Structure formats: C-alpha cells, structure tokens
C-alpha cells in the first residue's frame, strides 16, 4: 500500500524560506513521479506546483512558482522535498504530495497534506 506523508508545514513569516518533505513508501517508485500541489483557503481545487521523476530527478514546474519553488528527491531516504523561497502571504495553503506514473494522466495516491500559514 502506497503511503505518502507530508511534513514541515507551520506558521512562518513572509519572506522566510521553508522546506516541506514527503516521505514515500509502499512501492518501488521507479517510473513514477512525485508531484506537489496546494489548496488555498476557500478554493476547491488543488493547484499543481511541480513534480520530480523519482528515477531521474528531472523536474517540471508550474510557471507561476518556478522562480521561488524547487523540488528534489532523495531516493535513499525515500523522500521528496519542496523548497519555497521568499514566502508570500498567498502561499498560505495546504500542501500535498502525490504519486503517479510518468506519462500517466492522473496522480493516484495522495498524502494527507501539511498546512502552511504565512504571516506578515
């Protein structure tokens, strides 16, 4: 059973940096991507932020965040990371990681999310 657990969220000041982690277990993630999403307060949908190929480490990003967000993974620790620089008030959201087959059309397994609140 795939298990994704996000951590690292909390209350942070605007302008600070933050690292979120996604501990992944339950399958061989070769051939899979780990994606990061967020759901802002009052929004129903989750916005795609970016993803990393578990095998190659190649990354893709949404245009809206590529200047401040960085995604990586450590295959030994079985953990993916989302680094956010220069946090802004509108980065306040619940952040989720998810896994899906590279080339597939959906992310099939999701973590429970970690909340980030950015204060001024």
Nearest to 98 by CA among 37, 9, 8, 39: 37
pLDDT at 103: 84
At 16-42, the pLDDT tens digits run 999 999 999 999 999 999 999 999 999
Q: Give the DSSP letter of residue 7.
A: E
Arithmetic mean of pLDDT, 43-53:
96
CA within 13 Å, CB half, 21: 9
Look at residue 102 and give its three-state secondary structure.
coil
Residue 113: partners with Cβ closer than 8 Å, 6 or more residues away: 6, 39, 94, 95, 96
Give the separation between CA 27 and CA 30, rounded to whole angstroms.
9
The pLDDT of residue 104? 83
pLDDT in tens, 57-110: 999 999 999 999 999 999 999 999 999 999 999 999 999 999 999 888 899 999
């Amino acid at each position: 059973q795939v298990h994704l657990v996000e951590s690292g969220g909390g209350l942070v000041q605007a302008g600070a940096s933050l690292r979120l982690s996604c501990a992944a277990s339950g399958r061989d993630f070769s051939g899979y991507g780990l994606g990061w999403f967020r759901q802002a307060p009052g929004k129903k949908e989750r916005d795609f932020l970016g993803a990393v190929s578990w095998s190659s480490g190649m990354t893709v990003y949404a245009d809206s965040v590529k200047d401040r967000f960085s995604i990586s993974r450590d295959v030994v620790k079985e953990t993916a990371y989302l680094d956010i620089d220069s946090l802004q008030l509108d980065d306040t959201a619940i952040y989720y990681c998810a896994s899906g087959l590279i080339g597939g059309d959906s992310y099939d397994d999701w973590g429970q999310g970690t909340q980030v609140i950015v204060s001024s």
